Chain A
Amino acid sequence: DIQMTQSPASLSASLGETISIECRASEDIYSNLAWYQQKSGKSPQLLIYAANRLQDGVPSRFSGSGSGTQYSLKISGMQPEDEGDYFCLQGSKFPLTFGSGTKLEIK
């Protein structure tokens, strides 16, 4: 199975700050990677797919990048509504595997 190592586990950011979350795959996943946001008590929401494609309706301050085994999610200008948990998901091979998650809070 492909292991997804996500970092950091938690992050505290000031309003307007730019932050990055990383995911490293145990093998090449050929950009088959998605990022999900989960706000407290809510269902996850798709942010990014195919490593860098922004899902419709997602603010442009969110962006994804990476290739091979290394991927990142960037938020350019932290907003209060961006607080929550973030997960990466690899879709290169079954079983699909999620990263362990990053808890993002406002400082």
Chain B
Amino acid sequence: EVQLVESGGGLVQPGRSLKLSCVASGFTFSNYGMNWIRQAPGKGLEWVAYISSGSSYIYYAETVKGRFTISRDNAKNTLYLQMTSLRSEDTALYYCARGWPYYVMDAWGQGASVTVSS
């Protein structure tokens, strides 16, 4: 069974950093591109970042470019999202999702909640 499990969320002050993880199981992680998508409370979906299977191609939404870094460790079947200079508008539920091709996201995690507040 394909599974994606996010962790690392929490309450953080504005300007601080947080790192999310997404552990994959049930498929060959190194064969798939991966995405981070977020959903602010009561709002729609916002794509955040994509990383290709071998990390050669990386793309970000303009709203997070320069502050967030997506990465992966294929040996550990783990996707990461390093978030710095956090703002209140980054408050959201963050999902990781498998994408092949990138926009066809056929497996999603349960989400990690990030709240940015003083």
Contact = CB atoms under 8 A, between A and B. Distances in A.
Instruction: State yes or no: do A and B come from one complex.
Output: yes
Interface of A: 1, 32, 34, 36, 38, 43-46, 49-50, 55, 85, 87, 89-91, 94-101
Contacts of B104: 34, 46, 49-50, 91
Interface of B: 35, 37, 44-47, 50, 59-62, 95, 97, 101-106, 108-111
Nearest to A42: B110
A91 B103 contact: yes
Nearest to B106: A46
A90 to B, nearest CB: 7
Nearest to A48: B104
Given A43-B109, A98-B45, 16 more contacts: A1-B62, A34-B105, A49-B103, A55-B106, A85-B44, A89-B45, A89-B103, A95-B60, A95-B61, A95-B62, A96-B35, A96-B50, A96-B103, A98-B46, A98-B47, A100-B44
